[in-house]
Chains A and B, each alone.
Chain A
Amino acid sequence: MGHVLAIDTSSGTSVAVLKDGIALAEIEIADTRSHTESIGDAINDALIQAGIKPNQIRAVAVGRGPAPFTGLRVGIAAAIMFAEGAGAKLFGLVSLDAIAKQEFETRAAGSELDTGSEVGAGRSDEGSGKLSQPLLVTSDARRSEHYWALYSGLDRYGVPICIEGPAVNRPADIAESLAARGIEVQTTSRVISARAIGALFEAQAAAGMLSHDVTALYLRNPDAVEPKNLRTFGKKVSS
């Protein structure tokens, strides 16, 4: 499929160039408040590191979140325009799916890197990419809430099977809802990377599951209230 440019700004600014699933370049900027400043150089530097010109990018894969609004839009806007400018195809992926894939594969490989484990301690069925318990992937949604989605495992192409979510709730409510239904889970709050987006892209391509939808997953309505009383701003007049 040629070179793939992967972008995700759900957390920090993450850009990678991949070929056949192998990352040739990765730029990671953890700061969650400098997406706009970072995105141009991050893409440019990734291309230079990978030793390729923009028109060699055949596909742009962008994480759609869910994520708090402002930063997420920077990555999606950049992906849309890069694809337009470089004549590449544009694909949208759910960032939590990419985290799930990476986590399943890490656990299947017997790695001890499941640092985000909070709930439960189920064992992985080694090598199969399946856990004895479903995997709960969470990320910070600010305002004391988490974005989350629940996965049962990977399909034969390595695409994670989402059984619930993505949604946004308070952590206590997520735990309560799962407990009420007797679902025990393993949890990860691993941080998203563009490399993981690229890996998911390859798996979805193999499975024929790619999507051109790059709509941002905000999962919240804008903070705006319709004015109740049209004359609320003037002080009450005592006549």
Chain B
Amino acid sequence: MKAWSIRPALDADLASIMALEHECFPEDAWSEENMHFELLAHHTAYLVAVRDEKIIGYAGLSKVPSSDQGDVQTIAVSPAARGLGLGRALMDALIAEAGRLHAREIFLEVRADNPVAQSLYFALGFEHIDTRKNYYQPAGIDAWVMRLTLPQRSVGREPVVLGIESTCDETGVGIVRGTTLLANVISSSMDEHARFGGVVPEIAARAHLEALKPTLDKALAEANLSLQDIDAIAVANGPGLGGAVMVGVAAAKALAVATGKPIYAVNHLVGHVGVDILERGEVETPTVALLVSGGHTSLLLVRDLLDEVELLGETIDDAAGEAFDKVARVLGLKYPGGPEIDRAAAGGNPNAIKFPRGLTQAKDMEKHRYDFSFSGLKTAVARWVEVAETKAEAGEGEALNIADVAASFREAVADVLVSKAVKACLENNVPRLLLGGGVVANARLRELAKERCEAAGIELRIPALSLCTDNGAMIAALGAQLVMAGRRPSSLSFGADSTLPVTTVHTL
């Protein structure tokens, strides 16, 4: 039979706690006002031990969210209940609470003339690191400062992290436990952009606001968890569309404050790389990553996922996905252009028209070795189509062969993307290439990457498509890596950064 139970202190416990406070610390009891503040404060955790509906002990911890240090504020056991191990039980519960609040160290002060308490703290793993002279007044007794270093969280239970993504037109909420995917829910505003032929930032931002709650609810249901089960919140704070990112960041911050959980601001592009963790348990490094979407075309060299990410190159004008959308419009196809062009290209000859490969000439190699350009290609396709149609109208040539144009355009995009990615691997002695971003859905890009990587002896990683497009799971996965590596949470004051560099994996 349990002699007592330990539970969080309530406002209603104040009177009983104060009675015990005066009994245990007749010389230097806290005032009722101070104790009340401690019980209510946002950054504290107070526990009480109850036996026969009577409070027989209490203990309190202070842990500011922005710090990884916790402080034992007080511990008291009723004289009538001493010698039963209650002090140890309260300390055990307090240490567990500190761990739950992501503290990595716990500090306490104890009277130098209290060997009973000291031996308890030693038994719990605390060490004596400092002495403060004449700390306890009026008696003038010294205080020992003692410290307990908590085991890293990765040793114990894996953290459950909720990730929020809102950098473009997908509202994503994902939940992971360590490296395991629990939920990945995406709400897209793609259809609303269709009639404009491309993502309209204001429409995307409005849609995020509408989609937030339903997407969160669905993700929690999918993971079969409640918000109380979440250990940390991660959010993509860029790069992306400013107004869209702001919605996710504001949402994540409010959720963190409301639940008292730490928040991690992570880089959206590095999230695309980190997502491989969910399929393989880790990201093997070094790796080159080719990230291709409607908003980005970037080539990254990742030597360490959390600490060493380098941007090798990126598009100097349109993103590859944007080029697909615009060429689809030229060909009278729908938005989004990628799948439409894939469909139109079936049966077409990819070598029928030799469209230009941007930034691949010798003169580009010095300044734009790993950069991309799709603006010229898009214009070349438009001109080619216009000329062909004009000629056809004048009866000078054959009717426009859309399949050939689509296949040749697609080939040009895939060729330049894969060539530069493989070159980056070879020139940097990196035996691996990871693909990410929505354009990975393009069949020809995947096929060509497979062919060329095999030929060059490079290992190719293509995550499942649901993890390649923008999603919250990749943000959660990267956040979980930060938690497991014992990194500090972000402050609450970071902003949305539409041009966040890939070197900033984690914004403090």
| Residues of A participating in the B interface, judged by any CB pair closer than 8 Å | 34-41, 43-44, 47-48, 51-54, 57, 69-70, 73-86, 215-216, 218, 222-227, 230-231, 233-235, 237, 239
Using Cβ atoms and an 8 Å threshold, which residues of chain B touch A234? 330, 378-379, 382-383, 386
| Residues of B participating in the A interface, judged by any CB pair closer than 8 Å | 37, 40-43, 195-197, 200, 202-203, 205-206, 208-210, 212-213, 216, 227, 242-243, 246-260, 263, 326, 329-330, 332, 378-379, 382-383, 385-387, 390-391, 492-496
Using Cβ atoms and an 8 Å threshold, which residues of chain B touch A84? 213, 216, 227, 255, 258
Using Cβ atoms and an 8 Å threshold, which residues of chain A touch B195? 226
Residue on B with the closest CB to A34? B495
**Cross-chain contact B251 with A81 (CB below 8 angstroms):** yes
**Cross-chain contact A82 with B197 (CB below 8 angstroms):** no
> Complex formed: what's the CA distance from A37 to B249 in Å?
9
Instruction: Give me 16 other A-B pairs in contact (C-beta within 8 A), A222-B202, A227-B329, A239-B391 excluded.
Output: A37-B493, A40-B253, A54-B42, A54-B257, A73-B208, A73-B209, A73-B250, A74-B250, A80-B254, A81-B255, A82-B257, A86-B258, A222-B203, A225-B196, A237-B390, A239-B387
Using Cβ atoms and an 8 Å threshold, which residues of chain B touch A43? 253-254, 257
**Cross-chain contact A73 with B387 (CB below 8 angstroms):** no
**Cross-chain contact B330 with A48 (CB below 8 angstroms):** no
Measured CB to CB, the closest approach of chain B to A61, in angstroms, equals: 14
**Cross-chain contact A237 with B387 (CB below 8 angstroms):** yes
Using Cβ atoms and an 8 Å threshold, which residues of chain B touch A74? 246-247, 250
Give the contacting residue for B209; candidates A37, A76, A85, A226; CB below 8 A: A76
Determine chain B's interface SS by DSSP, over half rule.
Answer: helix
> Complex formed: what's the CA distance from A28 to B281 in Å?
45
Using Cβ atoms and an 8 Å threshold, which residues of chain A touch B259? 54, 85-86
State the total of A-B contacts with C-beta under 8 angstroms.
Answer: 164
Give the contacting residue for A237; candidates B216, B242, B251, B383; CB below 8 A: B383
Between-chain CB contacts (< 8 Å), 6 pairs: A40-B263, A74-B247, A74-B250, A79-B254, A81-B213, A86-B259
Using Cβ atoms and an 8 Å threshold, which residues of chain B touch A53? 40, 42
Using Cβ atoms and an 8 Å threshold, which residues of chain B touch A41? 492-493
**Cross-chain contact B216 with A230 (CB below 8 angstroms):** no
**Cross-chain contact B196 with A227 (CB below 8 angstroms):** yes
> Complex formed: what's the CA distance from A81 to B248 in Å?
10
Q: Using known A-B contacts A35-B246, A48-B42, determine if residue A77 contacts B257 with beta carbons closer than 8 Å.
A: no
Using Cβ atoms and an 8 Å threshold, which residues of chain B touch A38? 493
Residue on B with the closest CB to A38? B493
Measured CB to CB, the closest approach of chain B to A90, in angstroms, equals: 9
> Complex formed: what's the CA distance from A160 to B157 in Å?
54
Using Cβ atoms and an 8 Å threshold, which residues of chain A touch B40? 51-53
**Cross-chain contact A218 with B206 (CB below 8 angstroms):** yes
> Complex formed: what's the CA distance from A73 to B201 in Å?
13
Q: Using known A-B contacts A84-B227, A222-B202, determine if residue A40 contacts B246 with beta carbons closer than 8 Å.
A: no
**Cross-chain contact B257 with A37 (CB below 8 angstroms):** no
Residue on A with the closest CB to B256? A40
Q: Using known A-B contacts A39-B254, A84-B216, A224-B203, determine if residue A47 contacts B247 with beta carbons closer than 8 Å.
A: no
Using Cβ atoms and an 8 Å threshold, which residues of chain B touch A222? 200, 202-203, 206
**Cross-chain contact A77 with B251 (CB below 8 angstroms):** yes
Measured CB to CB, the closest approach of chain A to B176, in angstroms, equals: 19
Using Cβ atoms and an 8 Å threshold, which residues of chain A touch B258? 54, 57, 81-86
